[in-house]
Structure 1
Amino acid sequence: MKKIIITAALFLGFNQSYNACGWYDPDYDYFNIFAQEIIHNKTYEPFLLTYSSHFYGYDYDGKLDKNVPDENIESWVKYFDNKLTYDETNALITKVDIKHLNNLKKGQLTHQLFQKLGKGFYSKYQEAMDYLIQAKYMEPYMRINYVENPDSYSYRTSDPKDKNATQLNYAKTNVALISLYKAATNPEIKLRYAYQIVRFNHYSRKYKTAIDSFQTYVEPLKLKNHMYYYALDQKAGAERGLNQLDKANWDFFQVFKNTKNKKESAYNSMFLATDKDFNKILAQTKTPEDKNMAYFLLAYSAFNNPVPIMNKMIANNTESDILKVLTVRAINQLERNYLVVNPYCNDDQCEHFRNKRLPVYAPDNYADESKDFAKELETTIISAKNKQGNDEFWQICEAYIKFLNTDYKGSQTILSQIKTTDKQYLAEIEKFKMLNEIVSQPTITPAFENLIMKKYATVFEEKAQNRNWETMPATKDFVLDILANRYFIEKQDAKSFLMNNSLSDLQYNPNSDLVRKVEAFYKKSNKTALENYLVKKMEDVADPQSFFNVIYGDRAMRLADFKKAQEYYQKAKNFKGIPRLVYEWSKDGTSYVQKPMTFENGVYNGFNNISSLVFGYNVWESFQSKPEESMKTEGLSNFPFIKNKMNKVELADAVIQLENIGKGNDDKARLANQLLGNLLYNTSVLGYFRELFVMDVDNYNGPKFEFGNELQSPFYLYYKNFSRRSYVEADNFDLAINYYKKALDLSKDKENQARILFQMASAEQGKYYQWAANNPLKIEYNDPNYDEKYKQKELLFNKTKNDKYRTAFAQLKANYSQTATYKNLQSSCLYFGYYTKK
Structure 2
Amino acid sequence: MNSFKRLCIVFSAFSLSYFGEIAINIACGPEPDPYDYYVSFFHNNVPGNGYVPFSFTNMTFLYEETEPESEALINSREWADYLGKGVQAVDVEHLMYHTDIATDSVILRYLTGKDTVLPDSLAANTYLKGLKRNEAAGNYFLFAKELEPYAAVTYNHYWDPDPRDTMDLSRMAGLADRALELADEYPRNSFLRLRYAYQAARMYHYSGSFERCLETYNGYIDPSREKSAVKGWARALKAGATRRLHEPAEAAYLFSRVFATSPERRVQAYKNFHYIDVPFEEVLALAQSNKERAAIWAIQGFNNGDFDRETLASVYSLSPKSQLVAVLLTREINKLESQLTEASQYYGGGWWTTYYRPDSTQAKARDHAVWVADFARRLASERQYAEPGLGIVSEAYVEWLLGNVSEAETLLAGIKVDRLSERLADQYRIVELLIKINQLAVTNTVDEAAILPALQWLDQKRRAEIDQAKARYGSEQYSWMGAGDLRFNRTATNLYQSVLAPHYMQQKDTAMAALLMWKGESPWETETEQTGELYGRLGWPTQAFWQEQLQPATLEQLATWSKEGLNRPWAPLFAQQLGGLESDQFWDLLGTAYLRMHDYPAAARAFANLSAGFALPTPVNWYSAEEDTLWPDPFVATLNDYPKQFGDEALTKAEFARSMADLQRRIVEDPGHAADYYFQLANGVYQTGAFGNSWQLISYSWTSSDNYVKGTYYYSGDFHEARQAAVWYKKARELSKDREFRAKCTFMLAKCEQKSYLFNSVSDYYNARTWERDQPDPYWLFSQRNQYFKELKEDYLDTKFIGSAVAECTYLADFIRPNSP
Do they superpose with TM above 0.5? Answer: yes
> Residues 449-468 of structure 1: matches in 2 within 5 Å?
449-454=448-453, 456-459=455-458, 467-468=479-480
User: Quick check: 2:46–2:423 contact (8 Å CA) kept in 1?
Assistant: yes
Distance 2:457 2:636 in 1: 56
Alignment of 1:542-581 (within 5 A): 542=583, 550=591, 553-555=594-596, 557=598, 565-566=600-601, 568-569=602-603, 572=606, 575-576=609-610
Give the secondary-structure state (helix, strand or coil) at the position aligned to 1:209. Answer: helix
* Aligned counterpart in structure 2 of residue 241 of structure 1, from 244, 250, 253: 244
CA distance change for structure 1 residues 439 and 741 in 2, over 3 Å: closer, same or farther? Answer: closer
Q: Percent identity?
A: 14
Residues in 2 aligned to 1:259 and 1:708: alpha-carbon distance in whole angstroms: 51
Please tell me whether the aligned partners of residues 733 and 745 of structure 2 are also in contact (alpha carbons under 8 angstroms).
yes
| From 277, 284, 289, the counterpart of 1:279 | 284
Give the TM-score of the pair, scaled to structure 1: 0.69
Q: Are positions 1:529 and 2:569 aligned together?
A: yes
d(CA) in 2 for partners of 1:456, 1:299: 36
2:493 aligned residue (471, 477, 495): 477
Go from structure 1 to structure 2 and tell me whether the alpha carbon gap of 1:337 and 1:85 turns closer, same or farther (over 3 Å shift).
farther
Instruction: Verify the 8 A CA contact 2:709 2:759 in the aligned structure 1.
Output: yes
Checking the alignment, whether the CA contact within 8 Å between 2:204 and 2:210 is kept in structure 1 is yes
1:715-726 pair list within 5 angstroms = none
Distance 1:548 1:295 in 2: 56
* Greater displacement, 326-335 / 63-72: 63-72
State the match for 1:431 in structure 2. 430
Which sits farther off after the overlay, 405-414 or 772-781? Answer: 772-781
State the Cα deviation string for residues 53-91 of structure 1 (Å, max 9, x = none): 4334x3xxx545877884322212212316343332212
* SS of residue matched to 1:50: coil
Cα separation, 2, equivalents of 1:272 and 1:622: 52
Map 1:154-165 to 2 at 5 A.
none
Q: CA deviation at 1:413?
A: 1.1
Please give the secondary structure, in 1, of the residue aligned with 2:610: coil
Alpha-carbon distance change, 139 to 409 in structure 1, aligned in 2, over 3 angstroms: same
Contact 1:142/1:165 (<8 A) preserved: no
Q: Once structures 1 and 2 are overlaid, which stretch shifts more, 761-770 or 224-233?
A: 761-770
Please give the secondary structure, in 1, of the residue aligned with 2:381.
Answer: helix
Contact 2:723 2:752 in 1 (8 A): no
SS in 2 for 1:79: helix
Give the superposition deviation at 1:499: 3.3
Mapped to 2, the partners of 1:141 and 1:116 lie a distance apart of 30
CA–CA distance in structure 2, aligned partners of residues 834 and 421 of structure 1 = 71
Match of 2:367 among 354, 368, 372: 372
Q: Which amino acid aligns with 2:426?
A: A
Provide the rounded CA distance (Å) in 2 between the counterparts of 1:190 and 1:310. Answer: 41
**What secondary structure, in the 3-state scheme, does the structure 2 residue paired with 1:262 have?**
helix
After superposition, give the CA deviation of every residue in 1:731-768 in whole Å (9 maximum; x if it has no partner): 323524643775674xxxxxxx97x5796476346335
Q: What one-letter code is carried by the residue in structure 1 that aligns with 2:109?
A: N
Give the 5 Å matches for 1:140-219. Answer: 140-142=149-151, 166-167=168-169, 169-184=171-186, 186-219=189-222
Equivalent position amino acid for 2:110 in 1: L
Aligned partner letter, 2:499: I
One-letter code of the match for 2:284? N
Counterpart contact for 2:180–2:200, Cα < 8 Å: yes
Larger radius of gyration: 1
In 2 relative to 1, CA 727–66 (structure 1 residues): closer, same or farther, beyond 3 Å? Answer: farther
Query: 1:71–1:444: structure 2 CA closer, same or farther, 3 Å change rule?
Result: same
1:386 and 2:385 matched: no
Q: Distance in 2 between matches of 1:221 and 1:157?
A: 28
- Residue 447 of structure 1, CA deviation: 7.2
For residues 578 and 303 of structure 2, the distance between their equivalents in structure 1, rounded to whole angstroms, comes to 45
Which SS does the other structure have where 2:56 is aligned? coil
Query: How far apart are the structure 2 equivalents of 1:743 and 1:111?
Result: 95
How far residue 147 of structure 1 moved from its aligned partner, in angstroms, is 8.4
Unaligned segments of structure 1, at least 5 residues: 1-13, 149-155, 345-358, 558-563, 578-596, 605-610, 632-643, 746-752
For residue 427 of structure 1, what is the amino acid of its counterpart? D
Deviating more after overlay: 238-247 vs 471-480: 471-480
> 1:647 and 1:477 mapped to 2: Cα distance?
39
Given the alignment of the two structures, is residue 262 of structure 1 paired with residue 302 of structure 2, yes or no?
no
Partner of 2:21: none
1:187 and 1:221 in contact (8 A); partners too:
yes
Looking at structure 2, the residues matched to 51 and 775 of structure 1 have their Cα atoms a distance apart, in angstroms, of: 26
Task: Tell me the residue number matched to 2:624.
Answer: none
2:783 to 797, 811, 818: 797
Is the 8 Å Cα contact of residues 372 and 395 (structure 2) preserved in structure 1? no
Normalising to structure 2: TM-score of the pair? 0.70
- Any idea what SS the aligned residue of 1:31 has? coil
Q: Cα deviations across residues 149-183 of structure 1 (Å, max 9, x unaligned)?
A: xxxxxxx997x9x9999555245333333333333
CA distance in 2, matches of 1:375, 1:330: 12
Task: Write the distance in 1 (CA, Å) between the matches of 2:588 and 2:688.
Answer: 25
Q: Mind listing any 5+ residue stretches in structure 2 that lack a counterpart?
A: 12-29, 347-353, 467-474, 519-537, 620-630
1:268 CA displacement: 2.5
Relative to structure 2, which stretch is displaced further, 466-475 or 361-370? 466-475
> Does the 8 Å CA contact 2:547/2:589 hold for their aligned counterparts?
no
Q: How many residues align?
A: 713
1:509 equivalent among 548, 554, 570: 548
Alignment of 1:139 onto 2:148 = yes
RMSD over aligned CA atoms reads 5.4
